[in-house]
Amino acid sequence: MVKMKTGIVYDPVYLSHRIGVHVESHERLVGIMNFLKDKKVMENPNFELIQPRKATTEQIKYVHQESLINEVKEVSEISQVTGHIQQLDMDTAVSAKTYDASLYSVGGLLNGIDEILEGKVNNVFAAVRPPGHHSNAYKCSGFCIFNNIAIATEYLFREKNIKRVAIIDWDCHHGNGTQDIFYNGSENGDVVIFNSHQDGRTLYPGSGFVNDIGSGKGEGKIINYSMPPRAAEDIVMLYFEEIINPICQEFKPEFILISAGFDTHWTDRLTNMGWTIQGPATYLKSIKTMAEEYANGRILITLEGGYEIDKQAKAVYNCLQVLNNNDDNLIEEKPRKSGEEVLNYVNSKLIPELKEHLNPYWNCF
């Protein structure tokens, strides 16, 4: 196997977005970093710690309205003055340091991209928070502040001369913010979004169905795969084989950005899926092979959700092993497979319907 250098973006500033007993807790990152320390990942010369920078407000404005940026800043200041956590909406909380941490969260991705494009690392895992994929141009929601991956996409287009980006979002919740932002495509490049998530009829935010395909320049480039509850990772592998791989052979993305949630695990407290700790890494392995073919192996993964701290840490470790071409993955003793009913639904309904919707836009269907 070829030796790989993998960057890990992390900084304690991400712990300063501290929102009390909220499920999107700073302990999620503490759990990941402690596990990587136990496994001596950071001592391995094939891994490199990447420190984030602060993204500029000009860069945040690539996808967000100024009013949203000002709101986050002002509410963080209220929290600073009052000493109390504030709420942007029912789900999304802000502490005194949230505004700063959010700028560093975006800036972590930007530094990761720089290191990849400069050839210092082959690929990057950004262990950042607050997460981003539910926030759209004008509203923060679903525990998310700035949409990290959408800003990273525009950064590639506007500052790095990249023309084609594939976003793969495997968080258990539909990445509705990212979809909203690129629903009509981008004026600055071509972006295809592959979103897999628990069916919106059964989970927040209730969107992301197969007939949601984008419009204008984005028509046919929003690709939603809404998985039934209890689907195991075999179902997302069908998505890769039947949909993602054929489209990418046509689209030839130059850079792959991944919104990685680890809340598809079968024990996750917020969701109802059936993945193991090996699921995301298995999926990533296929994505990586495809990235090597078209994108020179350029993959940046950013952390979104994942609420079982110990399971998430192991799943992240497994993903890092795949990024770094190592085989020593942690495997759950009991493999999980989707039931007959789930498989029948996906094979006879979900995939054929999705192909029918995409047929006018892609030669492969």
| Residues binding Zn ion (CB under 5 A) | 171-173, 261, 263, 305
CB of 43 to Zn ion, least distance (A): 31
Our CB check for Zn ion shows the closer of 112 and 305 to be: 305
- In the bound complex, which residue of the shown chain has the CB atom lying closest to Zn ion? 305
Catalytic residue (choose from 64, 134, 173, 265): 134
Cβ proximity to Zn ion, 157 vs 283, nearer residue? 283
- Give the nearer residue to Zn ion in terms of CB position, either 174 or 314: 174
Mapping DSSP onto H, E and C, the string for the chain reads CCCCCEEEECCHHHHCCCCCCCCCCCHHHHHHHHHHHHCCCCCCCCEEEECCCCCCHHHHCCCCCHHHHHHHHHHHHHHHHHCCCEECCCCCEECCCHHHHHHHHHHHHHHHHHHHHCCCCCEEEECCCCCCCCCCCCCCCCCCCCCHHHHHHHHHHHHCCCCEEEEEECCCCCCHHHHHHCCCCECCEEEEEEEEEECCCCCCCCCCCCCCCCCHHHCCCEEEEEECCCCCHHHHHHHHHHHHHHHHHHHCCCEEEEEECCCCECCCCCCCCCECCCHHHHHHHHHHHHHHHHCCCCEEEEECCCCCHHHHHHHHHHHHHHHCCCCCCCCCCCCCCCCHHHHHHHHHHHHHHHHHHHCCCCCCC
In the complex, minimum distance from the CB of residue 37 to Zn ion, in angstroms, rounded to a whole number: 25
User: Closer to Zn ion at the Cβ: 290 or 301?
Assistant: 301
Least distance from Zn ion to the Cβ atom of residue 263, Å: 4
Least gap, CB of 77 to Zn ion (angstroms): 28
What's the min distance (Å) between Cβ of 178 and Zn ion?
A: 12
Nearest approach, Cβ of 144 to Zn ion (angstroms)?
10
Between 177 and 305, CB nearer to Zn ion: 305
- Decide if 64 is catalytic: no
The first and second tokens of residue 89, run together, are 């909406």
Beta carbon nearer to Zn ion, 154 or 263? 263
User: Beta 164-169 vs 47-50: how paired, if at all?
Assistant: unpaired
Active site (catalytic) residues? 134
